[in-house]
Every structure is written in structure tokens, then in C-alpha cells.
Structure 1
Amino acid sequence: MKKISLLIITILFVSCAVQKVSKPKLVMKYYEGFKKSDYQEVKNVLSISLIITEGDYLMEFTQESYYEHFKWDSIFRPVYKIVEVKNQGDKVSATVSVKSSRFEFLNNNPLTCKRNFHFKNGKINKIENLDCIDINWEIWQRQRDSLVNWVKLNQPELDGFINDLSEQGAKDYLKAIESYKKQKSD
């Protein structure tokens, strides 16, 4: 009986000592994982399923399928900087600046965007992409369209890279940018 009581007291003590991670801290850990190219750190703060919204566009992920997005993003060597994190009760709003080779090509580097993070059972289960405060969509679209049209004419084997969100799609995107830049400088 003494051993059982000691075991129960130990379990209660350990349970009380383990503190819940705050929501803003979970958001910071999420971006730390991206900064360090450590998907395990990202995965540790994600719910089993994740929804990302961008306007009316909705993307649903499992932790495994989100890994594909993580690999796609990593190809462009992003550098994330958290500008601001605000706890707003049931959600956290974050303003994050990111530099990458893709944004550099699109003449919007860094790109600073606001996002809302939602939680379920102490994990991130939804990310709402709100607005990007310093983006010039006109320049972005002109650069993107110029690249897509150039690829169709000059490197048709890479055509479709713009809609391919796989790791290979990102590699093709980067290859298209490098080839385009090289051709323009010749």
C-alpha cells in the first residue's frame, strides 16, 4: 500500500511540475522549426490535422502531408523573423517577415505577413493567412508571369512548376529562376 501511495504522489508531483506551453510560445516554436530546418520541432506543435486558409482558399494537411509543404518551403532557403506575437485568448496573431530566394526573384523580399493561429488540445490546428503588409502584387504577378511564359518557351520540361507544391516542384521553380536570370544576364 505504501508503494502505491508513493507512486500516486510521484505521478501527481510530476503532473503538476509539467507546465502547459503557452500559445504564443507554440507559435514561436513553430517558426523556430522552420528557422532550423527541423520538421520534428514544427510537428511537435501541430495538431494531428492542420488547416491553412488564404482568403477563400483552404488547404487541409495531416502532419505527414504538411511535411511536404515544409520541404517545398525549405528549397527556397527562407529566413524567418517574428516581428510581433499577440495572445488574443483563443488565438494568437503573429506578424512574420520572411526572406527567400523566391521572394527575392518576385521583388518582394522580405515579405511581411500577418497570421492568426488557432489551437485545439494545446496544438496548432489552423493558420489563417491574413494580409501581407508590404507586398506589391502587381510586381509579384508580373515577375511570376514573365517566368512562367519564359519557361513555356525555353524550358518546357519545367512547365507546371508554379502549381507543383512538392519538393521536386520547388527544385524546378528554383531551376527556372536560375535559368531565367542567366538567360537575362547573357
Structure 2
Amino acid sequence: MKKLLLSTCLLPLFLGSCQPKLKEVDRTVLAEEYIQALNEFDYPSIISLFYDSVRMKEIVYETTFSKADYYNLFQWDSIFQPEYKVLQIQELPGEKIELQISKLGPRINFLMDNPIITKEVLSFEKDKIYEVEIIEYLYFDDETWVARRQALIEWVAANHPELDGFIYDQTKAGALNYLKAIELYKAANNQ
């Protein structure tokens, strides 16, 4: 009886020790999946990669979105159909990945003719993205961006006041108005 009881007690321990170890998640692969999901405008895949909420940091600005609230920003960005390219990727100590990313779409192309290139750090917690931080702009033509954006704002105010305010409206409707403003401006200026 003692042997049977001892066997019954030790069997779960033996079976548990024979189970394969959980494979460690490759954070580089997760970072690449995140960029791929951005390129495919795949909201469910993007959200599934995040831990509990979406934390975005850009130099000195910091924003935390619930997964549901992030949807508005996602929709706004997706309207512009940006293409993200990973130029470099490397693991850092402390569950982090550093990326150099190029981003180009119709809005960015209109405002500065070239992609924005950033250095970003993805921090992970429990094998999920905890935070996305833009730590440096490697290429951003601020002078051209500001001048073209201001010219567009002024032209829209004078010629299409129904679109006025598009620049501050980070919703799907705001993004559609932004694209319409660019289209009308380019047509009026033979671009």
C-alpha cells in the first residue's frame, strides 16, 4: 500500500519533469511580426502582440492607450497606407529590441518627399510588447514638413473651409479629410 501511495505521489512529479520546456519567445521575431502587422493594417494582430495596453513614447511625449482606444489612432494611420521597413534590428539587454524603421506613405511623401527614419526601442514584458519608444529621428526634414503643412493648412482655410481642422482630427474621418485636402491642393497647384 505504501508503494502504491508513493508511486501515486511521485507520478505527477515524474510526468511534469518529462514535459518539454516552454520555448523562449524570440523578441526579434515579435518585433518583425509587429512591423508586418502595421504594413498589413491588421489591428487584431497588432493588439495581440501588446501586453495590457499600448504605451507609446516619442522623445518627450508619452501616451498610454487602452487596446480599444488605440483603434482610433490605428484607423487614422491606416488611412494613409504607410509602408514600414525595418532597416536594422538588434537585441538589447533587459528584454528590449532596437529597430531602425523607415516609414513612407502619401501624407509623409507630400510633406517631405522622403521617408521618416527613426530609431525605436520595443520593450517587452511577459513576451508581449510593453512599450514602443521613438528614441531618435535619424531622418526628418522638419523645415520642409512644417512649410508644406502650413501651406496646406492656409490653402484649405482659404479654399475649402469645410475641411478646416483636418490637421488636428486624429480619427478616421480626420485622416480622410487630410487626404482629400492633399488631393485638392495638389490638383489646384498642378502637382
- Tell me if 1:89 matches 2:123: no
Match of 1:70 among 59, 65, 74: 74
Match of 1:167 among 164, 172, 177: 172
d(CA) in 1 for partners of 2:108, 2:142: 12
Tell me the amino acid that sits aligned with residue 78 of structure 1. P
Contact 1:97 / 1:112 at 8 angstroms: preserved in 2?
A: yes
| Cα displacement string for residues 23-56 of structure 1 (whole angstroms, at most 9, x for unaligned residues) | 2221111111011221121111111112211222
SS in structure 1 of the partner of residue 53 of structure 2: strand
- Aligned ranges for residues 4-43 of structure 1 at < 5 Å? 9=15, 13=19, 16=21, 18-43=22-47
Q: Post-superposition, which runs of at least 4 consecutive aligned residues in structure 1 deviate over 4 A? A: none
- Aligned ranges for residues 102-181 of structure 1 at < 5 Å? 102-181=107-186
How far did 1:128 drift? 1.2
SS in structure 2 of the partner of residue 46 of structure 1: coil
How far did 1:109 drift? 2.1
Using the size of structure 2 for normalisation, the TM-score is: 0.86
Contact 1:23 / 1:92 at 8 angstroms: preserved in 2?
A: yes
- Over the matched positions of the two proteins, sequence identity in percent amounts to 31
**RMSD over equivalenced CA pairs, Å:** 2.2
Unaligned ranges ≥5, structure 1: none
Deviates more, 1:57-66 or 1:97-106: 57-66
1:79 paired residue number: 83
- CA gap of 1:159–1:88, structure 2 versus 1, over 3 A, is same
d(CA) in 2 for partners of 1:168, 1:11: 56
Contact 2:30 / 2:49 at 8 angstroms: preserved in 1?
A: yes
d(CA) in 2 for partners of 1:173, 1:84: 31
How far did 1:9 drift? 3.7
Unaligned ranges ≥5, structure 2: 1-6
Match of 1:54 among 40, 51, 58: 58
